[in-house]
Amino acid sequence: MRLRSHSRLGCAEALIAASLAAAGAFAGLAPAQVKIGRQPDASVILPTGQRITPAGTQVVVNSMPIAAAASRDGRHLLVLQSGYETPSISVLDTQAQSLRGRVELADAWLGLALSEAGDRIYVSGGARASVWELSFRSGELRLEREFPIPGECVGNCSSLIGDVILDRDDRTLYALDVLRDRVIVVNSQSGLVLGEFKTGIAPYRARQTPDGKHLLVSHWGEASVGLYRLADQRLVERIPVGEHPTDLQVVVGEVEVPGADEDEVLTYPARLFVACAHSDNLWTYGITPNNRFDLLDARSVAPRPDSPIGSLPSALGVSKDKRRLYIANAGNNIILAVNIEEALPEPQGALPTGWFPTAVVGLDDGALAYLSGKGDFENPGLVGLLPPLTGEQLEFLTAAAVENLPGPETTSSAPPEAVRHVVLALTDVPASAWREPLADSAYLKGYVPPTRESLGQVAWLTGGIATDFFVKLGPAVHAGRLSAQDLARAGRAAAPAAGTLWTNAMQASISTETYGIGGGRPPSAFVANLEAEGSLPRLAVVRLSGSGERQEGDLERLLAALLDHKAYAATAIFVVSTGERAGAAAAGGAVKAESIREGLTTAPTVLRTIEWLLGLRPLTQADSAAPPLTELFERSR
C-alpha cells in the first residue's frame, strides 16, 4: 500500500457539507412535547428522538432486512430478513412494487449471493454454521439444499456465517465466519467444504479483486481490510482504513490522479471504497493492475465537520452505470449520493430513509432500492424504491434529509454544584416493580426505550448509540438464535463506537467505578461499600443481572444503602429498566423535582443529563443534540 499525497487527501471538510449547507439548519432531536410514532405531517419520531421521512415507495417486510440483490433481469429484488421473526428471503417485484413471495429459513444473516445465470441463490446460515442453496426461476424461490460447515474448536465457541461470495468460476463459494475469524471454501456443486483460512478479527464483507486472484475482506473488529491470495489462501497485506470497517465496493473503471511530480499522472483501472462505521469516514484506494493499493482519499461522512461519532456508515451501493456511489449512514437515517466519475468522490446530495438503512442496490436505468433495517417504528422493516432522480428531485430530497439530521451540541446552564455524585443503575426488572422503593423520586413518565433488546438499550444509555454490530445481531439474540456470550467473543467488533460513559469520565479524571459492567466488580461489592459508609465515587455505573426476583432484591438493597449513605444529599440516582417493560426514574437528595414533563424522554437525554452533571463532553451525535433534564435540579418539591 502506498500513500499518495495531494491536496484532496485526508479528512478535511465533511463529505456532505457542501451539498447540505444550502438546505438549511439541522433540526436536532424531537422536542419533549412530541410523542413517538406517526406525526400529523406524516413524518415519524423514533424512540431515539430522531425524525424520519423515508423517500420513495415503501414496501413492508419482516424485521431487519439486512441484504438485497437484484435479479439478473432486473425484474425482482431478493431481500434477506434476519430479525425477530424466523429469517426469510422475500421476492419483490420491482415493477409492481409489491412482494411476490417469501421462503423461510431456520437461520440466516447478511450473506446473499447469486450465481452467474441468476438461477441459484446462496444464503448464509447464520449461527447454524451452514449455507443455504435456493433455486430461482421466473420470480419463484425454492429451498433446495443446506451445506453444513463442520469445524472443530477447542472450548466453548460458536460460528456465525455471514457474507457469502461466489468465485467467477461459479463453482467455488467463500463463506465468512464472523465469530471464528475464518473464510470457509465450499464447492457450490457438491456442497463439500474444500478448506478454510484465517482472517483478521470478525470478517464482515468480501469482494474479489478485478483480476479474480485475491479476496478483499473487511475486518469488522479491526481497522483494516485483508488482501488474501486465493491460490494459496494466504494474507498478502493488511490495508489500513478507519475503525470498524463494514461494507466494501470494488468499482472497475479507469481514473487518473496527479502524481508526486508536476507532470506525473497516475492511472488506476479500479478503485476500492470502504465504509468505516466507528470513524464515520469513507476510504478510497486506487487499485493497480498488480493489486497494489494506493490511498487516494479518506474523509468524513458526518453531517458537520465538528460532529461527534454517530453517523455509522455501514453499507455501500453503486449505480448500474458505476457513476454514483451510495453511502448508507445508519446512524443518521440517510443515504449519501456521491459522484465517482472522477478519481475522488464528490458529494451530490442525500436521501432520507427509514430507521437504520442497511443496504443500497442500484437498479436498471438509475432507479434505486434501499433497506431500512428497523422500518419506521410502525412497520418492522421496509424496502424503499426510488425512480431515477432529476437534479431538482435530488435537491428536494437532500433538503428533507438535512431537516431530519441531529443539530449541533445543545447548550445548557452550568450544572448544579450540589450534585457531587451520580449513580446509574441498570436493571431488567419492569419499572412497575421498583417504583415503590423510588416513591420519593422523579419518575420519567415519557421515557421510551430506544430498542427492544436489552443489549441495545444498555449501549444507548452508556455509549450514546447502539452500533451496527448490536443493531444487526441484537434481534438474533432476542430471538434465541445467538447468545450474548457469542457476541462478546467478537472482540473489538462489539466495542462501542465512541467509548462509554465511564471511559469518558476516566479520561476527564473523574473518579469512576463500574459494577457488573465494563469489567467491574459485582454489584454486591458496591452495596457492601455503601453499607460500610465507604466513599462514593463521582460516577458509579451498576448493571444488575440474574433472575427478576434477584434483581428486584438487589435493587432494593442498593437504593436503601444509597438512601442511608452520608453522601445521599449530594447524589443524583438514575434507575433505568432495560427489559421489555422499560422505564426510568431519577432520585437522590440532589433531585429537586417530583416529576417532569410527560412528553418524550429518550436514552440520549438520560445520558446527556449525566454528562451535564459531571461536566463531560457528549459521546455521540445523539447525546450531543439531546437537551439535559435540567428541570430535575431546578424546581423545589
Assess whether 188 and 335 both reside in one domain. no
CA dihedral 483, 484, 487, 491 (to 10 degrees): -140
pLDDT at site 637: 41
pLDDT class for 13, splitting at 50, 70, 90?
Answer: very low
Q: Point out which residues pair with 206 in neighbouring strands.
A: 217
What is the rounded distance in angstroms from the CA atom of residue 49 to the CA atom of residue 26?
Answer: 14
pLDDT above 80 for 48: yes
pLDDT mean over 55-63 = 97
* Coil/strand/helix, residue 477: helix
Same domain, 155 and 295: no
Express as a percent the part of the chain with pLDDT over 90. Answer: 76
Q: Are residues 317 and 393 in the same domain?
A: yes
pLDDT at position 152, please? 65
Distance of CA 304 to the CA centre of its chain: 19
pLDDT band at 622 (very low <50, low <70, confident <90, very high): very high
Question: What's the pLDDT at 210?
Answer: 97
Give the span between the Cα atoms of 340 and 425, in whole angstroms: 48
Asked if residue 228 is part of any domain, the answer here is no
Residue whose entry in the numeric block shows the C-alpha cell 447478511: 110
For residue 345, pLDDT over 90 is answered with yes
Residue 252 domain flag: yes
| Residue 107 and residue 173 in one domain | yes
What is the arrangement of strands in the sheet containing 65-70, beginning at the earlier edge strand?
A: 65-70, 76-81, 88-93, 98-104
Closest residue by Cα to residue 258 from 268, 249, 248, 250? 268
Residue type, position 521, single letter: R
Do 31 and 87 belong together in one domain?
A: no
Indicate if 48 and 76 belong to the same structural domain: no
Q: What pLDDT is recorded for position 4? A: 46
Q: Quick one: 53 and 102 in the same domain?
A: no
pLDDT at position 164: 98
Q: What is the pLDDT of residue 589?
A: 87
Mean pLDDT, rounded, for 277-305? 96
Co-location of 295 and 391 in the same domain: yes
Grid cell listed for 20: 447540505
**Side chain identity, residue 482:** L
Q: What is the DSSP letter of 628?
A: P
The reply to whether 604 falls in a domain is yes
Closest of 85, 105, 95 to residue 369, by C-alpha: 95
Grid cell in block for residue 330 = 445508519
Cα gap 538→614, rounded to integer Å: 8
The answer to whether residues 584 and 578 touch, using CB atoms and an 8 Å cutoff, is: no
Secondary structure of 81-106 as H, E, C letters = ECCCCCCEEEEEECCCCEEEEEEECC
Indicate the residue among 354, 374, 405 that finishes a domain: 405
Q: pLDDT-derived band of residue 263, with 50, 70 and 90 as boundaries?
A: confident
Query: Is 80 exceeded by the pLDDT of residue 438?
Result: no
At 261, is the pLDDT very low, low, confident or very high (cuts 50, 70, 90)? Answer: confident
Q: Kindly state whether residues 75 and 42 are assigned to the same domain.
A: no
Please report whether residue 155 resides in a domain.
yes
The answer to whether 105 touches 60, Cβ cutoff 8 Å, is: no
- Predicted pLDDT of residue 9: 32
The pTM (predicted TM-score) of the whole model is 0.94
Phi, psi of 436 (to 5 degrees): -65, -45
- Which CATH number belongs to the domain containing residue 486 in this structure? 3.40.720.10
pLDDT-based confidence at 597, cuts 50/70/90?
low
Is residue 595 very low, low, confident or very high in pLDDT (cuts 50, 70, 90)?
A: low
- Judge whether 401 lies within some domain: yes
Write the DSSP string, 567-611: TGGGEEEEEEE-SSS-EEEEESTT---SB--SS-B-HHHHHHHHH
Is the model's pLDDT at 149 over the cut of 50?
Answer: yes
Confidence of residue 444 (pLDDT cuts 50, 70, 90): confident
Is pLDDT of 22 > 60?
no
Note the pLDDT tens digit of each residue in 116-138. 999 999 999 999 999 999 999 99
Residue range of the domain that includes 604: 421-633
- Pair 476, 625 in one domain: yes
How far apart, in whole angstroms, are the C-alpha atoms of residue 60 and residue 383?
Answer: 7
Residue 28 has pLDDT above 70, yes or no: no
Q: By the 8 A CB rule, do 608 and 621 touch?
A: no
- Domain membership of residue 236 (yes or no) is no
Instruction: Name which of 316-330, 365-379, 445-459 the model is least confident about.
Output: 445-459
The answer to the question of residue 355 being in a domain is yes
Residue 2: per-residue pLDDT: 47
Q: How confident is the model at residue 310 (pLDDT cuts 50, 70, 90)?
A: very high
pLDDT for 442: 80
pLDDT tens string 231-260: 999 999 999 999 999 999 999 999 999 988
* Residue 412's pLDDT band (cuts 50, 70, 90): confident
Rounded Cα–Cα distance for residues 49 and 62 (Å): 23
When the pLDDT of each residue in the chain is averaged and rounded to a whole number, the result is: 90
The last residue of one of the domains, among 405, 429, 457, is 405
Name residues whose C-beta falls within 8 Å of residue 532's C-beta, 6 or more positions apart in sequence.
none
In the structure, what pLDDT confidence band is assigned to residue 411 with cuts at 50, 70 and 90?
A: confident
Q: pLDDT value at position 150?
A: 85
Amino acid at 250: V
Q: What is the mean pLDDT of residues 337-347?
A: 95
**Residue 584 scores a pLDDT above 50:** yes
pLDDT, position 52: 96
Q: State the total domains in the chain.
A: 3
> Are residues 77 and 35 both part of a single domain?
no
**Does residue 437 fall inside a structural domain?**
yes
Pair (451, 325) in one structural domain: no
